[in-house]
Amino acid sequence: MADTYAPEQACKAARKRLEQQGITVRAFAAQHEIHESTVYAVLNGQKKCLRGEAHRAAVLLGIKEGA
Nearest by Cα to 45 from 3, 4, 6: 6
Q: pTM of the prediction?
A: 0.87
**Predicted pLDDT at 3:** 60
pLDDT tens column, 37-48: 999 999 999 998
Residue 51 CB contacts under 8 Å (≥ 6 apart), including other chains = none
As averages over each run of 10 residues, the pLDDT of the chain (67 residues) reads 71 95 97 97 92 95 86
